[in-house]
């Protein structure tokens, strides 16, 4: 997807013969004229060889000396039911994915370029196909504890059983003393399923023990990132259009962004101009308050992201799985979305197609339709939400920051 910037080397050889110089006014016509003195040829200055474009597959940033070249990216299923908060390891995510699973509850899938750098992570939960389908085109390692019957079928269909790690309970550990938002521990009523954690060292050990293939060469990035050598794209000037529909104008204010996944599960962001990032908060439905989304393993640091991307499509129960309310995300439909950066929100479109096809984001045209031009996403960490189209009318973005 990325084009290398080609440089043409201009070679110019200068050969400047001397003009004849006159001596005295008396000229001996019989004398043989002297041959002109040869001048040295100027050596051309070689153009510098351009550096190859080498971008981090998940952030678009320039790869540093510690980049794990040739290693698969990793996705981990993290519990986000209110009783499981606060989580650990989320601040290390290069991309954080949030999607509804069942009962209106959302779940997280943080994506990491280097699993060895995560540290402690959890609580770990079961796999779901709506997350796996985003990871599948990149052949990423999928880490979870158990899986839905639909996910089990995906694993079989795509011969992924030996490429993921789906039984974290056999190698992770239980932290029965962890304290959740409500102040509960295992002994005071916290459910067992909200206590499973692991570390990078644990993951490394099980990878080596099983001989899990972690080799992968990536020829494209997760999003179509702006070249890290170029200035960031300014959404304010990206499109001057008066077009507006029920979803709003193409580019508008986005210092405050609020996403409703269900009545009880909402996520919001406040833009911080000083850091050029969006600070993340989650709705605490027992009392209707908002709380900072923090990483307990990183000194309770609040999560922040350069990019906030929200995609809408039809989400419904898988036929025959009504009892467990297993949610089906219709990726094949594509649809509308929003890209928020630098305090502005831009209406976009997206497509995915089959499970093996990577997610593609597109600009909107001046009349609000889907263009055929891939969206340029600025480099940095990203939050990605896939949300039911029924909740698109509840998407909020404005200039005013929330308290």
Cα 240 from chain centroid? Answer: 27
CATH of domain 235-398: 3.50.90.10
CATH architecture of 74-210: 3-Layer(bba) Sandwich (3.50)
| Whether 13 contacts 43, CB under 8 Å | no
Rounded Cα distance, 188 and 181, in Å: 13
Decide if 74-210 and 235-398 have a common fold.
yes
* Domain ranges for the chain: 74-210, 235-398
Task: Of 336, 360, 386, give the one whose Cα is nearest residue 223.
Answer: 360
For residues 25 and 13, what is the distance between their CA atoms, to the nearest angstrom? 36
User: Chunked in runs of 10, what are the mean pLDDT values of the chain (403 residues)?
Assistant: 37 36 38 57 72 94 96 98 97 98 97 98 98 98 97 96 93 96 94 96 97 96 97 77 64 94 97 97 94 97 98 97 95 96 96 96 90 96 98 93 61
Q: Which structure tokens are listed for 200? A: 């990078």
pLDDT of residue 241: 55
Q: Is the peptide bond before 123 cis (omega within 30 degrees of 0)?
A: yes
Identify whether the C-beta of residue 369 lies closer than 8 Å to the C-beta of residue 381.
no
Give the model's pLDDT for residue 22. Answer: 36
The pLDDT score that the predictor gives to residue 366 is 82
**Which residues neighbour 119 within 8 Å (Cβ) at sequence distance 6 or greater?**
88, 89, 92, 199, 200, 297, 298
For residue 251, what pLDDT is reported? 85
Query: What pLDDT does residue 271 have?
Result: 97
């Amino acid at each position: 997807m990325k084009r290398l910037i080609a440089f043409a080397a201009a070679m110019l050889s200068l050969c400047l013969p001397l003009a004849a110089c006159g001596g005295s006014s008396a000229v001996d016509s019989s004398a043989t004229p002297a041959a002109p003195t040869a001048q040295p040829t100027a050596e051309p200055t070689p153009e510098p060889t351009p550096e190859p474009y080498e971008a981090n597959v998940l952030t678009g940033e320039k790869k540093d000396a510690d980049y794990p070249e040739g290693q698969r990216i990793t996705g981990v299923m993290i519990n986000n039911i209110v009783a499981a908060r606060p989580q650990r390891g989320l601040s290390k995510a290069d991309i954080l994915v949030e999607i509804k699973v069942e009962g209106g509850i959302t779940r997280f899938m943080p994506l990491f370029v280097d699993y060895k750098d995560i540290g402690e992570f959890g609580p770990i939960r079961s796999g779901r196909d709506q997350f796996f389908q985003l990871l599948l085109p990149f052949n990423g390692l999928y880490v979870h504890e158990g899986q839905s019957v639909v996910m089990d079928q995906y694993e079989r269909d795509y011969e992924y059983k030996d490429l993921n790690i789906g039984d974290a309970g056999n190698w992770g550990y239980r932290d029965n003393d962890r304290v959740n938002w409500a102040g509960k521990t295992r002994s005071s009523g916290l459910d067992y399923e909200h206590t499973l954690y692991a570390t990078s060292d644990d993951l490394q050990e099980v990878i080596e023990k099983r001989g899990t293939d972690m080799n992968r060469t990536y020829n494209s990035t997760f999003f179509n990132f702006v070249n890290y050598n170029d200035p960031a794209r300014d959404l304010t000037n990206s499109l001057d259009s008066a077009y507006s529909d029920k979803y709003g104008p193409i580019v508008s204010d986005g210092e405050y962004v609020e996403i409703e996944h269900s009545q009880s599960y909402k996520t919001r962001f406040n833009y911080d101009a000083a850091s050029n990032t969006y600070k993340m908060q989650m709705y605490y439905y027992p009392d209707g308050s908002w709380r900072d989304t923090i990483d307990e393993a990183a000194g309770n640091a609040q999560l922040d992201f350069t990019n906030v991307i929200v995609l809408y499509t039809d989400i419904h129960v898988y036929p025959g799985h009504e009892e467990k309310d297993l949610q089906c995300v219709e990726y094949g439909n594509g649809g509308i979305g929003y890209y928020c950066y630098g305090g502005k929100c831009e209406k976009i479109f997206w497509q995915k197609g089959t499970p093996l096809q990577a997610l593609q984001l597109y600009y909107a045209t001046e009349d609000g339709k889907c263009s055929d031009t891939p969206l340029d996403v600025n480099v940095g960490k990203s939050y990605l939400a896939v949300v039911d189209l029924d909740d698109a009318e509840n998407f909020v973005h404005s200039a005013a920051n929330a308290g």
